[in-house]
Amino acid sequence: MTRRSTSLSRVALASVFLLLSFGCDTRAVTMEIPGYGNGNVDGVWLWRLAEATGTYRRACRLELDATQLDETATEVLPYLQVCTTPGQIGLNLRATISRLPADPSTIVVTMWYFRYEAAGQFKASSYNAAGESALSSTTLSL
């Protein structure tokens, strides 16, 4: 179990405040990620619809880390948001995990997504060392 220091938590909160003050829009995105519990998923790509072409383009990658237990023994998923927008830094975040009772290798997480671009339509794909899934059938308005 990894514990964060109070000063590190304050730095993280200050970073989030700075991002919000510079026009970043924050959204909560709930995802079901099949196969994560078996080690089959390394991350998720969020794809934004390019309205001019009608195609989806990569917007941000959510790099998933190994699960941890927080101070209340709740299972959490640390992740890093890395966007394709030039000059944007990666954000270290974490989400609380729920597991599907019928399939504990599938997790459900609500992740914070910091959107730097204008609002739009998004889809997701998961990836690992072997490749990438197809885009999700679900479209999100973010």
Q: Which residues have a Cβ under 8 Å from the Cβ of 80 and sit 6 or more positions away?
A: 62, 63, 65, 90, 91, 92, 93
Asked if the structure places residue 45 within a domain, the reply is: yes
Residue 110 has pLDDT above 70, yes or no: yes
Number of structural domains (the chain) is 1
Nearest partner of 28 among 93, 73, 87, judged by Cα: 93
pLDDT in tens, 64-99: 999 999 999 999 999 999 998 777 778 899 999 999
Mean pLDDT of 112-140: 93
Residue 105 has pLDDT above 90, yes or no: yes
Host domain of residue 41: 6-128
* Cα distance between residue 4 and residue 80, in whole Å: 16
pLDDT for res 23: 53
pLDDT for res 116: 80
pTM of the model: 0.80
